[in-house]
């Protein structure tokens, strides 16, 4: 009964607050005594660019790992499009429409850039494993889509280069392309500019802006670079010590005293990530 009441309340909230695509409810995980993510309830609206901020060790990446299914939460739930996906495997979440990238570059280093993207397109096209006798080159639609994505992430002239031989910035773009290929409805980006040189950052910002402008997916971004966050975000969420500190539009958040305290070291334990 209580649950039903909850759901109808949620539907009411949808009507008043706009379309919520991703929602967490009391999401928590503990590693021993450390509460890495502690009771985080968050609603992410579709078509709004959300940035998650927080000092090192605030639990941002862990939060992503919980949402994407890499870790099982010790408490709490994840809802995607109003459906409880807490028990889903990472693969099921991907096919449901949740894409994610990683903070540390995570590609297939010995395969070509083309093949990295192609594998992602192939997964989205749901080619069955039993198709053992058909050559992969005969899936022309997959090849066309791969070329389209490579052009979009500006790597089409590097298609035949081994991913491990690309520069760091190119690898980050490649990763973005691999996630885009999944055509996700929500895109969890974990510091897409981590380790990028200063010259490369604007290209990534432009790329993210173009994705945002097409409205094809809802982006949730973890980022440290304030200029980037300010340039892109509609909503900013601040995490500290695994807890939700503050949520709102950029102006409100940057003037929030709790946020200022957290960033200036007021009671925040700094843990190297």
> For binding to another protein (CB under 8 A), which residues are involved?
68, 90-91, 94-95, 100, 102, 106-112, 114-115, 118-120, 122-124, 127, 129-137, 139, 159-162, 165, 178, 182
Report how far apart, in Å, the C-alpha atoms of 200 and of each of 26, 50, 167 are: 37, 22, 11
Shortest distance, position 226 Cβ to another protein, whole Å: 28
The contacts of residue 182 (CB under 8 Å, 6+ apart) are: 94, 99, 120, 123, 124
Q: What is the dihedral of CA 65, 80, 33, 246, to 10 degrees?
A: 100
Strand partners, 44: 22
Judged by beta carbon, residue 41 or residue 165, the one nearer another protein is 165
Q: Which is nearer to another protein, 46 or 127 (CB)?
A: 127
How far is the C-alpha of 77 from the C-alpha of 152, rounded, in Å? 35
Considering the complex, what minimum distance in angstroms separates the CB of residue 236 from another protein? Answer: 26
Cα-based angle 150, 156, 157 (whole degrees, multiple of 5): 160
DSSP 122-144: HHHTT--TT--SS-GGG-HHHHH
Residue 85 Cβ vs another protein, minimum distance, rounded to whole Å: 14
Greatest extent of the chain over all pairs of C-alpha atoms, in Å = 63
Q: Which is nearer to another protein, 25 or 115 (CB)?
A: 115
Residue whose CB is less far from another protein, 162 or 224: 162
> What is the closest distance, in whole angstroms, from the C-beta atom of residue 105 to another protein in the complex?
10
Cβ proximity to another protein: between 160 and 199 the closer is 160
Smallest distance, another protein to C-beta of residue 136, A: 5
* Nearest residue (CB) to another protein, 137 versus 214: 137
Work out how close the CB of 149 gets to another protein at its nearest, in angstroms, rounded to a whole number. 13
- Asked if residue 15 lies in contact with residue 61, where contact means CB atoms within 8 angstroms, the answer is no
DSSP state for residue 163 in the 8-state scheme: G
Instruction: Kindly tell me which of 45 and 114 has the beta carbon lying closer to another protein.
Output: 114
- Provide Rg for the chain, Cα atoms: 19
CA atoms of 187 and 62, how far apart (whole Å):
16
The least distance separating another protein from the CB of residue 138, rounded to whole angstroms, comes to 9
């Amino acid at each position: 009964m209580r649950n039903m009441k909850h759901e109808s309340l949620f539907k009411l909230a949808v009507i008043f607050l706009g379309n919520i695509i991703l929602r967490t409810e009391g999401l928590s995980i503990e590693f021993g005594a450390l509460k890495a993510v502690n009771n985080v309830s968050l609603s992410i609206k579709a078509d709004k660019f959300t940035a998650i901020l927080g000092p090192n060790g605030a639990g941002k990446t862990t939060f992503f790992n919980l949402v994407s299914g890499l870790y099982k939460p010790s408490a709490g739930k994840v809802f995607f499009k109003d459906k409880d996906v807490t028990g889903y495997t990472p693969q099921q979440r991907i096919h449901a429409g949740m894409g994610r990238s990683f903070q540390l570059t995570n590609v297939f280093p010995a395969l070509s850039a083309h093949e990295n993207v192609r594998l992602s397109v192939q997964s989205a096209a749901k080619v069955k494993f039993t198709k053992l006798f058909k050559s992969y080159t005969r899936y022309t639609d997959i090849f066309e889509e791969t070329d389209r994505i490579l052009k979009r992430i500006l790597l089409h002239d590097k298609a035949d280069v081994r991913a491990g031989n690309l520069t760091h910035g190119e690898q980050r773009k490649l990763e973005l392309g691999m996630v885009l290929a999944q055509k996700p409805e929500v895109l969890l980006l974990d510091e897409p500019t981590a380790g990028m040189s200063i010259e490369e950052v604007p290209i990534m910002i432009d790329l993210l802006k173009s994705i945002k402008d097409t409205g094809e997916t809802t982006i949730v971004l973890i980022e440290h670079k304030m200029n980037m966050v300010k340039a892109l975000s509609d909503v900013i969420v601040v995490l500290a010590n695994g807890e939700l500190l503050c949520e709102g539009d950029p102006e409100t958040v940057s003037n929030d005293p709790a946020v200022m305290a957290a960033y200036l070291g007021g009671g925040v334990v700094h843990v190297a990530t």
